[in-house]
């Protein structure tokens, strides 16, 4: 059953492991594929988006042997081209990372995208690759958007690109340009947003022996040419972006919940959820490799949030704000209009259905808290973060809530409803893990 019923739940208790990071899994897979030799990836995430990345790297000649808890990636010194189109699914990261990588292959490649390139734009990346000597064309393949990459290698040189559309553009170039023929310099025309995702990319590249010189507070990158990826073994850390939903569920109920495999020293930007919960008055404890939340079920404190660098937290913060004793203001989130759904409009519409007082702004939301929520039928908008945020809000709503197309959580956190149920939430359905 693709729909899930969430019933009002007053108490949560127990502990679960945070899901592995989707972002790290994808980055480590690509770096492993560009290395000559075997790289072991421990604790990888198996979800729709990471499966898309697996399809992409194997299409260019890498081999992946999967066993429980470990994937072994055999990289290739020289990429080969797939005779068949490469299906990137609905993974914007896979598409944006692999288009520059595809330019390194000797012949043309066709990458298919199940989503809309109007919603998940790629044109700035196409322009930068053109500056660097590679030709990329946007087209249609049946009812899917497609990107044709001519291949033949990346020359290198200078390019400029906006930093406020998608940090994935910069990460994609950082993966491919170390293998360019001459040095590459990337200058940002606007300040970089979601900067921690680029830091994550740089961390993975360093693990694989790649040098990137960063200048002017991440406004300029200089990438030496003709570098060599060195195969290495990596461990995927737990994901703060996904764990944020469980932490929020504990915060709005009477709870004693522990989420394991969360390392606060990780450069993940979405660990900011811990500071947000603290500011909202939630009692918690950060341990070496876990986070504990002790929820009281009482009203939270409102907050003012600039989400410029943490846009993925906006849906769950909006849900939390419904239980605050005052008005919460969220700004700097205009890029959410270009995600799997228009996330600002989607979370606004669905929380209003539940009775929340929410105002939609061009770059954010205003939420007036302490308005009783009621169960209803929720449209997930085929967006994993909308489904999970509304499921959390439903824990405090009168009667039951039905999350339609809840299987969208397979994109990043297939076990979400299983984990929430194991902590005591009353849930019908939701077994989406493999």
Catalytic residues, by residue number, are 312
- Per the structure block, which two tokens stand in for 174? 């950082």
What distance in Å separates the CA atoms of residue 255 and residue 146, rounded to the nearest whole number?
47
Q: What is the dihedral of CA 241, 116, 88, 174, to 10 degrees?
A: -70
- Per the structure block, which two tokens stand in for 310? 């943490």
Edge-to-edge strand list for the sheet holding 4-7: 377-379, 400-404, 4-7, 427-428
- Per the structure block, which two tokens stand in for 59? 């299409």
Strands 364-368, 377-379: parallel, antiparallel or unpaired by DSSP?
unpaired
Q: List C-alpha distances in Å: 267 to 239, 263, 273, 403.
A: 11, 9, 13, 32
Residue 365 makes CB contacts below 8 A (sequence gap 6+) with: 314, 318, 321, 328, 329, 330, 333, 344, 347, 348, 358, 359
- Per the structure block, which two tokens stand in for 284? 């918690």
Edge-to-edge strand list for the sheet holding 70-74: 63-67, 70-74, 38-42, 234-235
> Is the dihedral angle over the CA atoms 158, 161, 167, 173 positive or is it negative?
negative
> Is the dihedral angle over the CA atoms 187, 25, 210, 81 positive or is it negative?
negative
What distance in Å separates the CA atoms of residue 301 and residue 362, rounded to the nearest whole number?
24
The enclosing H or E element of 161 equals strand 157-161
- Helix and strand totals (H; E) in the chain: 12, 24
Neighbours of 108 (CB within 10 A): 14
What distance in Å separates the CA atoms of residue 33 and residue 204, rounded to the nearest whole number?
13
What distance in Å separates the CA atoms of residue 37 and residue 80, rounded to the nearest whole number?
16
What distance in Å separates the CA atoms of residue 109 and residue 407, rounded to the nearest whole number?
30
């Amino acid at each position: 059953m693709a729909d899930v019923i969430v019933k009002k739940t007053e108490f949560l208790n127990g502990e679960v492991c945070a899901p592995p990071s989707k972002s790290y899994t994808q980055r480590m897979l690509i770096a492993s594929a560009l290395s000559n030799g075997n790289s072991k990836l421990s604790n990888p995430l198996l979800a729709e988006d990471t499966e898309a990345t697996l399809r992409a790297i194997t299409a260019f000649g890498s081999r992946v042997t999967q066993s429980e808890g470990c994937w072994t990636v055999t990289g290739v010194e020289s990429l080969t081209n797939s005779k068949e189109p490469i299906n990137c699914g609905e993974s914007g990261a896979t598409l944006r990372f692999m288009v520059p990588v595809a330019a390194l292959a000797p012949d043309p490649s066709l990458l298919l995208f199940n989503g809309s390139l109007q919603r998940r734009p790629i044109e700035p990346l196409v322009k930068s690759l053109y500056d660097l000597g590679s030709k990329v064309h946007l087209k249609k393949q049946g009812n899917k958007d497609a990107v044709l990459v001519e291949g033949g290698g990346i020359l290198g040189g200078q390019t400029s690109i906006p930093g406020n559309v998608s940090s994935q553009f910069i990460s994609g170039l950082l993966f491919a340009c170390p293998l360019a023929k001459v040095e590459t310099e990337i200058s940002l025309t606007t300040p970089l947003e979601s900067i921690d995702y680029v830091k994550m990319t740089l961390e993975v590249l360093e693990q694989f022996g790649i040098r990137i010189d960063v200048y002017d507070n991440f406004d300029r990158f200089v990438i030496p040419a003709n570098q060599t990826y060195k195969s290495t073994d990596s461990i995927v850390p737990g994901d703060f972006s996904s764990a944020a939903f469980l932490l929020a569920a504990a915060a709005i109920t009477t709870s004693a919940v522990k989420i394991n495999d969360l390392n606060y020293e990780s450069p993940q930007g979405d660990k900011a959820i811990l500071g947000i919960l603290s500011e909202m008055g939630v009692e918690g404890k950060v341990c070496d490799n876990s986070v504990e939340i002790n929820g009281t079920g009482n009203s939270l404190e409102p907050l003012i949030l600039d989400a410029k660098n943490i846009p993925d937290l906006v849906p769950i913060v909006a849900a939390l704000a419904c239980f605050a004793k005052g008005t919460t203001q969220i700004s700097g989130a205009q890029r959410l209009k270009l995600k799997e759904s228009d996330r600002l409009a989607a979370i606004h519409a669905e929380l209003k259905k539940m009775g929340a007082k929410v105002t939609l702004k061009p770059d954010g939301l205003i939420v007036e808290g302490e308005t009783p929520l009621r169960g209803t039928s929720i449209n997930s908008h085929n967006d994993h973060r909308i489904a999970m945020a509304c499921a959390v809000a439903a824990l405090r709503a009168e009667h039951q809530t039905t999350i339609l197309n809840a299987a969208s959580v397979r994109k990043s956190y297939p076990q979400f409803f299983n984990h929430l149920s194991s902590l005591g939430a009353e849930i019908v359905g939701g077994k989406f893990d493999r």
